[in-house]
Amino acid sequence: MNGTSFYRELLKSVYTRFPDYPEGRYRGRGIVLCAGGFGHLSNAYVCLKYLRTYTDMPVELFYVGKSEMPRGARDLFLKDFAPIALKDITQCRFPHDQLSLPIRDFKGFQIKPYALLYSSFEEIFYMDVDNIPLQSPLTLFMSEEYKQTGALFWPDLSGMKQTTDDLFEVFGVTSQLIRQDPEFESGQIVLDKRRCWKALLTVCLANSDAERFRDFCYRHTLGDKDTFRLSFQFAGQPYHLIRHFPLQAGNMYVIIPVPLTDFTIKIQHDLGSFYATGILQHDPAGNPLFAHKTVCEWDIYQPFQNLLYVENAHREIQPVRELAQRENEGYGYLKEFHARYKKFFGRQYLRRFRGLLAVVIIAFLNTVKYRRSGPASTLSQQQPDEKESRKH
């Protein structure tokens, strides 16, 4: 039996043993985030500052192990963002062994579906912590698309086709139309667990270590994101995919090849050309809703702007002032985090080194530009609201 047939049979066998929805275990609506450690917690702090301008809906933040959530940082998070619960996902269990989905070691993409499963909320708005809400996302619960299906997902960029035919076979997706649909971008999800229960369990199975199923899936698609689409298709569970395609957001970068390697160094500078570092997602009506920093997350040691421009549907590069303003707000929140939370973490030498290296390279590029064009075109002559937040 080849790998495709083996995992197809595994999926069908385990699916028949999934428990029914556990009445009384989940209640209400809430927001779910995943973050831990200095870098990701700093992103979670920024994300929560944005969200708290829109809502005081309860939040559950999942992390992996005690080392990712020092006690002092935990106490401050509980104070700063109440009502919020901080949950170590390694200590979460489904009651009475009703569900056995083995996990060797929680890490990376795998955490997201299990955070949805272990959250106490019945209805969930989930977002990645490097995602910026541009308006209140909670109106999504009121949308007709959510009311009809109980699940909202967003499309990935049209060029992001990673899922292979082998994985479509495992999940029994034979329709060429479905295979040609956009893959999911799972940086934001709205989910009613009651209505989507077995589809969610299927996502968790695909991201579990049962017979190394996760490893197989991740070899045939990019992380967790399309396991949601495949699992909902397998379970026959309706969902709504936002019909407005995402736009690429980014800034101008100089890309420097590293000799004798396949690596490059990407330096943000207006000597370069447009390079996408995020995506702009929309609400069901087509209004901008999320700016997801998919490449360059928040970093206090590299406080450079990554969302100055958007590439529109005609592939034209246009500046978007609102994104720049929102990102500047985020860096203000990041400074707050650093001032109040850095004492709970180590010295962050590697992050500091990367930031210093970026500054040195930018200084070199500015010198080159000065010599080519004269002092009027150096970076220091740009508008004040841009010059202090240029990226490496």
Where does the pLDDT of residue 392 fall: very low under 50, low under 70, confident under 90, or very high at 90 and above? very low
CA–CA distances in Å: residue 37 to residues 23, 44, 142, 342, 354: 34, 10, 34, 11, 18
pTM of the model: 0.87
Distance, in Å, from the CA atom of 94 to the CA atom of 108, rounded to the nearest integer, reads 21
| Percent of the chain's residues with pLDDT above 70 | 87
DSSP letter string, 82-140: -SEEEEEGGG---GGG------SS--GGGHHHHHHHHSS-SEEEEE-TTEEESS-GGGG
Distance, in Å, from the CA atom of 183 to the CA atom of 172, rounded to the nearest integer, reads 16
**pLDDT for residue 258:** 73
**pLDDT for residue 219:** 95
State yes or no: pLDDT of 73 exceeds 90: yes
Q: What is the mean pLDDT of residues 348-354?
A: 65
State yes or no: pLDDT of 268 exceeds 50: yes
Intervals of CATH 3.90.550 along the chain: 3-241
Distance, in Å, from the CA atom of 90 to the CA atom of 80, rounded to the nearest integer, reads 24
Give tens-digit pLDDT for 182-234.
999 999 999 999 999 999 999 999 999 999 999 999 999 999 999 999 999 99
State yes or no: pLDDT of 4 exceeds 50: yes
State yes or no: pLDDT of 131 exceeds 60: yes
Average pLDDT in the chain: 87
Q: What is the mean pLDDT of residues 4-20?
A: 95
Q: Look up residue 100 and give its two tokens.
A: 């056995």
CATH number for the region 3-241 comes to: 3.90.550
Where does the pLDDT of residue 295 fall: very low under 50, low under 70, confident under 90, or very high at 90 and above? confident
Give tens-digit pLDDT for 165-180.
999 999 999 888 788 8
Q: What is the mean pLDDT of residues 354-373?
A: 57
Contact (CB, 8 A) for 43 and 252: no
State yes or no: pLDDT of 9 exceeds 80: yes
H helices present in the chain, as ranges: 3-15, 37-51, 71-80, 111-118, 144-149, 165-170, 176-180, 197-206, 213-220, 225-235, 321-341, 349-373, 384-387
Where does the pLDDT of residue 305 fall: very low under 50, low under 70, confident under 90, or very high at 90 and above? confident
Q: What is the mean pLDDT of residues 54-80?
A: 96
Pick the range with the lowest mean pLDDT from 30-39, 114-123, 297-306.
297-306
Contact (CB, 8 A) for 248 and 238: no
